[in-house]
Amino acid sequence: MHIELEKRARVSTLFSIFSPLLALALTLVFGVVMFWLLGKSPLGALYSFFIEPLLEVWSLHELAVKAAPLILIAVGLAICYRSNNWNIGAEGQFTIGAITGSILPVMNPEWHSPMILPLMLLMGMAGGALYAAIPALLKTRFNTNEILTSLMLVYIAQLYLDWLTRGPWRDPQGYNFPQTKSFQIEAVLPEVLSSGRAHWGFIFALVAAVALWFMMRFMLKGFQVSVLGQSERAGRFAGFSARRMVWFSMLLSGALAGLAGISEVSGSIGHLQPSISPGYGFTAIIVAFLGRLNPLGIVASGLVLALTYLGGEAAQLSIGISDKVSRVFQGLLLFFVLSCDTLIHYKIRLVVAGAKAAEVRS
Amino acid sequence: MFEAILLTVITASTPLVIAALGELVTERAGVLNLGVEGMMIMGAVCAFAATQMTGSPYIGILAGILGGGAFSLLFGFLTLTLVANQVATGLALTILGLGLSGQLGEAFVGQPGIKLQPIVFPLLSDIPFFGRVLFRQDLTFYLSMALVIGINWFLFKSRAGLKMRAIGDNHASAHALGINVIRTRYLAVMFGGACAGLAGAQLSLVYTPQWVENMSAGRGWIALALVVFASWRPWRVLAGGYLFGAVTIGQLHAQAFGIGIPSQFLSALPYAATIVVLIIISHNRRTTLINTPASLGKPFVPDR
């Protein structure tokens, strides 16, 4: 018995919509089995993992705090992946954006001007974009694989942040904690509502998602992205430049990751420290695929993945499950998303060996 | 002194060489598996767990190989049977591997490990210098050397290797000639997984005999870069692996001597070196095109 694929005459609209939901359902089934193996009541565990965080106002705010960087990074990555540019170093661009965005408050802690925040955000975006420009330059100029270079730059960015916060930028009055001085109030990204912690980063994420959805749907640039991604040759015939697309997609995703970085530091943490991200840049890859590389879909999938972070923390407290479980959930989810996507383009058939032989004989 | 440094370089290089050789075979068959990091860390945790439970690091090595190989099947099923995107699936394998290994290894954090002991060849090991460097090593070193020679022979001297290269260069033609593309690719993916698992086992049983979360620290990705660096040739993987091992150990010694450069900058050296090496090797578009297996990363659905 084996599996055979038959190409569909046209892309299945039904499965384009249902494949992410199917993937979520399969992940939940696996979750039940996993909790059962860990000796926990599966339903109780799923409840505290996925339902409990949605019941209180403060945790809904936390959801927005966690979803903001995921969505911001993932919509940028979606443009990259659609155009066949594999930027997987968003974690590094996030880190560098956080660093360049923090230059002003760290260097001028006494500067109390309303100008500081917009400047910080701009500098964060510029930093992220510049850091993404490295793999873009290497790809266009030296033909270097952007997957490997952007990933290597993640490690370098993290080590650089580590050095800054333990070395030159460390707060001398910080009781030897490796962190910078807390940002002045003008440099803190404000909360959206007075009821909780959700900051403007979440609004930025929604704006970016809608803007990029508009671009992909209604603008020539969006069309270029899809054509060059599906066939570089076809794009060349249409007069589109693949080289320029490398720059466009990398700089865009870098800038958005940088904005996510400075928003997280300014809106949620309030200072720089050696570790500023629980792997947002990598989880955003899952978010992008779960959202089927569609900016609006990514808003939904970003919220789902943010829930796995929150659920992980909640489940650790309430039922004593390790927070590593959420990483396993995230990995499984991506696997199921990718396998369910096969259904969009192919019909899947189970073929029994005997039947095949009979077919050949007749 | 030189001998001591050389011995540590060998220990640091061996996992890179083994993992890169496995990936080389996978890529020669036309499959790009970016999940080396994930398979490596799964190998490391399986090897450590099995060693702690049985007390024998040799069973640990076996568990590492099996763990990496089994984990790679997940990638094989998605990309070969369900023709999912290879880049995305490879990333998924790495993300899942890092998460799952953290979960599996939680019980073993902080436990003192059992180190894989060297196998001393009588007589040969008494040769001055070379004897101590080459014939008093642990099993993983000997395996890495055997793999270089074996894979080189397999790819360029055996019929099966020729078929595998044919698949990597043009899977449609190979299929038309009656070669079973999917089956060969499954075997190549599993071989790559087993090698990555063995490399991981080396990390948790030889390099630092303990379990630490994320202990592969990007070595899987460096192994991927090594394959490009080596332009898909086994002997060049060996050379490249030792170059990287030397950079890694060199920066550790520089940190120990305290030469005034912050340790973080030195730790970043192997990653920066990877980028530099990639630039040097890829800047000539034409030679890159000639060397790269032509159907690398492309999906294949057999027509009938």
Cα separation, B201 vs B119, whole angstroms: 17
- Predicted pLDDT of residue A33: 87
Question: Which residue on chain A is closest to B220 by alpha carbon?
Answer: A148
pLDDT band at A360; cut points 50, 70, 90 = very low
Given an 8 Å threshold on Cβ–Cβ distance, is A327 in contact with B102? Answer: yes
Residues 6+ apart with CB under 8 A from A144: A135, A138, B275, B278, B279, B282, B283
Above pLDDT 90, what percent of chain B? 39
DSSP A348: E
Q: Which of A219-223, A343-347, B256-260, B279-283 has the highest mean pLDDT?
A: A219-223
pLDDT band at B304; cut points 50, 70, 90 = low
Contact assessment for residue A206 and residue A214, using Cβ atoms and an 8 Å cutoff: no
Given an 8 Å threshold on Cβ–Cβ distance, is B81 in contact with A3? Answer: yes
pLDDT band at A353; cut points 50, 70, 90 = low
- The residue-averaged pLDDT of A30-39 equals 83
- The residue-averaged pLDDT of B145-163 equals 93
Provide the token pair at B208.
Answer: 């630092």
Question: Which has the closest alpha carbon to A257: A109, A100, A114?
Answer: A100
- Residue A23 belongs to a domain: no
* Residue B241 touches partner A, C-beta closer than 8 Å: no
Give residue for tokens 């860390």: B41
| A341 chain-B contacts, CB cut-off 8 A | 84
- Predicted pLDDT of residue A362: 40
| B102 chain-A contacts, CB cut-off 8 A | 322, 324, 327
Residues 6+ apart with CB under 8 A from A204: A68, A72, A259, A263
Statement: residue A356 has pLDDT above 70: no
Chain centre to alpha carbon of residue B32 = 14
Given an 8 Å threshold on Cβ–Cβ distance, is B225 in contact with A88? Answer: no
Whole-number average pLDDT of chain B: 88
The domain tally of chain A equals 1
- The residue-averaged pLDDT of A227-234 equals 86
Cα separation, B144 vs A176, whole angstroms: 45
A184 versus A125: which is more confidently predicted?
A125
* Structural domain span for residue A209: 66-290
Question: Angle, to 10 degrees, between the axis of helix A57-82 and the axis of helix A90-107?
Answer: 120
Cα separation, B278 vs A145, whole angstroms: 8
- Residue B302 belongs to a domain: no
Cα separation, A161 vs A264, whole angstroms: 15
- Predicted pLDDT of residue A352: 73
* Least reliable range by pLDDT among A158-172, A232-246, A271-285, A346-360: A346-360
- Residue A78 belongs to a domain: yes
Contact assessment for residue B194 and residue B46, using Cβ atoms and an 8 Å cutoff: no
Whole-number average pLDDT of chain A: 86
* Residue B248 touches partner A, C-beta closer than 8 Å: no
- Residue A26 belongs to a domain: no
- The residue-averaged pLDDT of A52-77 equals 90
- Predicted pLDDT of residue B287: 77
Statement: residue A358 has pLDDT above 60: no
Given an 8 Å threshold on Cβ–Cβ distance, is A167 in contact with B91? Answer: no
Cα separation, A127 vs A119, whole angstroms: 12
Contact assessment for residue B253 and residue B267, using Cβ atoms and an 8 Å cutoff: no
Statement: residue B130 has pLDDT above 90: no
Nearest to B275 among A3, A152, A327 (CB): A152
Contact assessment for residue B31 and residue B86, using Cβ atoms and an 8 Å cutoff: yes
A192 versus B143: which is more confidently predicted?
B143
User: Amino acid identity, residue B297?
Assistant: G
- The residue-averaged pLDDT of B26-48 equals 93
Question: Which residue on chain B is closest to A356 by alpha carbon?
Answer: B304
- Residue A281 belongs to a domain: yes
Contact assessment for residue B301 and residue A5, using Cβ atoms and an 8 Å cutoff: yes
pLDDT band at B194; cut points 50, 70, 90 = very high
Cα separation, A159 vs A166, whole angstroms: 11
- Residue A344 belongs to a domain: no
- Predicted pLDDT of residue B214: 86
* Structural domain span for residue B149: 2-291
- Residue A319 belongs to a domain: no
- The residue-averaged pLDDT of A276-296 equals 89
* Least reliable range by pLDDT among A162-176, A191-205, B121-135, B173-187: B121-135
- The residue-averaged pLDDT of A71-87 equals 93
| B264 chain-A contacts, CB cut-off 8 A | 159-160, 162-163
- Residue B265 belongs to a domain: yes
Find the helix or strand (DSSP H, E) in which A24 lies.
helix A13-37
- Residue A4 belongs to a domain: no
| B228 chain-A contacts, CB cut-off 8 A | 145, 148
Given an 8 Å threshold on Cβ–Cβ distance, is A163 in contact with B265? Answer: yes
- The enclosing domain of B71 has a CATH number of 1.10.3470
Contact assessment for residue B151 and residue B143, using Cβ atoms and an 8 Å cutoff: no
- Residue A187 belongs to a domain: yes
DSSP for A83-148, written as a single string: TT-----HHHHHHHHHHHHHHHHHH-TT---TTHHHHHHHHHHHHHHHHHHHHHHHHHHH---HHH
The domain tally of chain B equals 1
Residues 6+ apart with CB under 8 A from B101: B41, B42, B44, B45, B213
Question: Which has the closest alpha carbon to B278: A146, A40, A191, A68?
Answer: A146
User: Amino acid identity, residue A234?
Assistant: A
Contact assessment for residue A88 and residue A151, using Cβ atoms and an 8 Å cutoff: yes
Find the helix or strand (DSSP H, E) in which A347 lies.
strand A346-351
Question: Which residue on chain A is closest to B280 by alpha carbon?
Answer: A142
pLDDT band at A1; cut points 50, 70, 90 = low
Q: Which of A55-69, A123-137, B85-99, B156-170 has the highest mean pLDDT?
A: A123-137
* pTM exceeds cut of 0.80: yes
Given an 8 Å threshold on Cβ–Cβ distance, is B283 in contact with A167? Answer: no
